[in-house]
Structure 1
Amino acid sequence: MKLSDPRANRSRQALLTAGIEVFLVNPNASLTEVANIAGVGRATLYRHFETREQLIQELARESLALTDRALEPLKAKKLKGREAIEFMLHAVMPLANRFHFLLSLWTIAEDDPEVSNIYNRQLEELAALVEQGKQAGSINAGLTTTWIVTMIDSLVYAGWYLVRSGECNAEEAAASAVQSLFCGISA
């Protein structure tokens, strides 16, 4: 079956959707569990994904592409520095239900060179925003850009975790991340 075949496309999409659903509940789930939720047979599953790792890596590529799409308005508005970082945090927090499974499966996802390249590009773009903020005086130039990028990345993951667990909604998580990043946690 070619991917231009509508039935093959539906099966592949069903597997991707089921993969997110299953891995959100159980990051250790098997391909068989994914196929069962997708409503496809094992032969169809293996026609699209020979291994669990391939499925996870495809889900990671799709998730990173979704992040890029969420950030398109940032680029269109030509936001820079702190303002762009605040926008970014508000844009990516609603993706928590899509990404949360990657928190525990990232070591598998990053083994794919394409996933690593996309993720590293996104981190480089974030580093450029941090540098703009430093030049504008809105971000502490005494901290390394690598430290700040890692801190922002950690705040995103913390927000996704809390949104997924129901501790807060995406807007609250984004606001808390902005507050923590730019004002700290002191009273």
Structure 2
Amino acid sequence: MKLSDPRANRSRQALLNAGIEVFLINPNASLTEVAAIAGVGRATLYRHFETREQLIQELARESLTLTDKATEPLKAKNLKGRAAIEALLHAVMPLANRFHFLLSLWSIAENDPEVTGIYNRQLAELAQLVEQGKQAGEINTNLTTTWIVTMIDSLIYAGWYLVRARECDATEAAESAVQTLFSGISA
């Protein structure tokens, strides 16, 4: 079956959707569990993904691509520094329910050079925004850009965790991340 075959495409998409669903509940789930939820047989599963790692890496690529799509409109607005970072946090928090499972499976995902390449590019773009904020006097120049980028990345994952746990919604998570980042936690 060719990948351009509509039936093969439906099966592949069903496996990706099932992978997200299954890994959200159980990050240690097997490919057999994913195939069962997708409603496809093992032969179809293995035609698309020979290993669990391949499926996880494909889901990570999809996650990073959707993150790019969520932030693309921000680039068109030509936002800089703090404004761009605030908009970015609001744009990516709604992805929590779809990609929270990557928190526990990142060690598998990052073994894919394409995943690592996309992620490193995204971090470099974030570093540029931090540098712009520093130059505009909006961000503390005493902190390294690497520290700030890592903190923003961690705030995104913290927000995704809390949204997934239903402790808050995506808007609250983004607003809390912005407040924590730019005002700290002091009263």
Give the TM bin, normalised by the shorter chain: over 0.9
Match of 1:124 in 2: 124
Match of 1:96 in 2: 96
Match of 1:169 in 2: 169
Match of 1:42 in 2: 42
CA distance in 1, matches of 2:65, 2:145: 24
Match of 1:4 in 2: 4
SS in 2 for 1:40: coil
Count of residue correspondences: 187
Given the alignment of the two structures, is residue 159 of structure 1 paired with residue 159 of structure 2, yes or no?
Answer: yes
Match of 1:54 in 2: 54
Encode CA deviations 1:23-47: one digit per residue, 9 max, x unaligned. 0000000000000000000000000
CA distance in 2, matches of 1:117, 1:80: 23
1:50 Cα deviation from its structure 2 partner: 0.1
1:98 Cα deviation from its structure 2 partner: 1.2
CA distance in 2, matches of 1:98, 1:72: 18
CA distance in 1, matches of 2:98, 2:123: 19
CA distance in 1, matches of 2:56, 2:182: 34
CA distance in 1, matches of 2:97, 2:53: 20
1:51 Cα deviation from its structure 2 partner: 0.0
CA distance in 2, matches of 1:10, 1:95: 22
SS in 2 for 1:12: helix
Encode CA deviations 1:128-176: one digit per residue, 9 max, x unaligned. 0000000000000110000000000000000000000000000000000
SS in 1 for 2:86: helix
Match of 1:25 in 2: 25
1:82 Cα deviation from its structure 2 partner: 0.2
Encode CA deviations 1:94-122: one digit per residue, 9 max, x unaligned. 00011100000000000000000000000
TM-score (norm 2): 1.00
Encode CA deviations 1:53-72: one digit per residue, 9 max, x unaligned. 00000000000000000001
TM-score (norm 1): 1.00
SS in 2 for 1:71: helix
Percent of residue pairs identical: 86
Please provide the CA RMSD for this pair.
0.3
